[in-house]
Amino acid sequence: MDRHPYFIQSYCIIRNHTIAINGHPYLAVEHTAPLHDFLRAAYRQLGIDYPKFYKMDGLCKAIFIAVELMARASGPFENDTALVFSNYSSSHLSDSKHAQDISDEANPVASPATFVYTLPNIAMGEISIRHQLHSENVFFIFDSYLPEFLVPYSHAMLDDGKASSIISGWTEVTAKRCDVFLYHVGQAGHIPCTVEHMKRLYQGQERK
């Protein structure tokens, strides 16, 4: 299963209020800062003008930032770059917000801008728009990060010629925890895309 000649072209980890791209620190803020402040600081540091960012929920924001940094490292992405994401909580951040909106005693009103984010794959839509990717998107829900599934799945897609490269990984974002690990896998690069390597990268034990 690990014999395929596919490599990691870039990877990004957002965890514990720190961001690292290809193993190099990009940003770290106080652990006590609210998630949105942390993500806003990251957006500002990117120095781009993309007001849609502010409309996104936490899941989309974190993914947006990770992919933006990866695009700088190994982009621009081919427009058939597929997206294969996974997490545990789906869109729980926005789900809770919407549930709260409609349970409000005084004025139960649903917000369209919240409801639209109650689907995890919206993040992949945001990425597709930003990077103009016309490609296959799949959002898996797993108990935990599962390279044993994701790595062979990506290899199969590449083998079948359904995509030239793939952005894949684990994107768990809740009110309490942000654990995003995304990687760009394709033909070029130095780190072989194997289950073993993807485990180590996720744990932050390997540098490019």
Partner 1 sequence: MKADVFVVGDQLVTPLGIGSATNFVQLLDGRTAIKPVADTQLSGHRIHAARIDEQAWLNKISRPQRFTRLEQLFILSLQAMIDEYRIPLDRSTLVLLSTTKGNVALLHRASTAFPPARVHLPVMADELQGYFGFENRFVTISNACISGALAISVARQLLRHHDGYQQAVVIGGDEISRFIVSGFDAFQALADEPCRPFDRDRKGLNLGEAIAGVYLSKTPARDAVRIMGVGSYNDANHISGPSRTGEGLYRSIAEAMREAGAPPLDFISAHGTATRYNDEMESIALQRCGLSAVPVHSLKGYYGHTLGASGLLETVLGIHSLKNNRLIPSKGFMHQGTSQALNIITADHGDTVKTGKQPDAPAQPLRTFLKTASGFGGCNIATVFQKA
Partner 2 sequence: MSELTQELKAKIITQLNLEDLTVDDLDDNTPLFGDGLGLDSIDALELIVMLDKGYGIKLADPKEGRKVFETIQTMADFIEANRK
CA pair distance 88, 178, nearest whole angstrom: 12
Q: What, of partner 1, partner 2, none, does residue 98 touch, CB below 5 to 8 Å by kind?
A: partner 1
C-beta separation of 208 from 9 below 8 A? no
Which residues is 82 bridged to in the sheet? 166
Give the nearest distance from C-beta 156 to partner 1 in angstroms: 4
Report 53-112 residues binding partner 2 (CB under 8 A): 54-55, 107, 109-112
Question: What mask of x and - would describe binding to partner 1 in positions 112 to 141, judged by CB under 8 A?
Answer: x--xx-xxxxx-xxx-xx--xxxxxxxxxx
Can you state the percent helix, strand and coil of the chain, rounding each to 5?
40, 25, 40
CB neighbourhood size of 107 (10 A): 6
Verify binding: residue 198, partner 1, rule CB under 8 A: no
Verify binding: residue 46, partner 2, rule CB under 8 A: no
CA pair distance 86, 72, nearest whole angstrom: 23
Report 145-174 residues binding partner 1 (CB under 8 A): 149, 152-153, 156-157, 159-160
CA pair distance 46, 71, nearest whole angstrom: 12
Element (H, E) at 38: helix 35-46
Give the nearest distance from C-beta 118 to partner 2 in angstroms: 13
Give the nearest distance from C-beta 96 to partner 1 in angstroms: 7
Which residues is 138 bridged to in the sheet? 84
- Phi, then psi, of 141 in degrees rounded to 5: -115, 120
Question: What mask of x and - would describe binding to partner 1 in positions 16 to 55, judged by CB under 8 A?
Answer: ----------------------------------------
**Contacts with partner 1, residue ranges (CB under 8 A):** 79, 83, 88-90, 92, 95-96, 98-99, 102-103, 108-112, 115-116, 118-122, 124-126, 128-129, 132-143, 149, 152-153, 156-157, 159-160
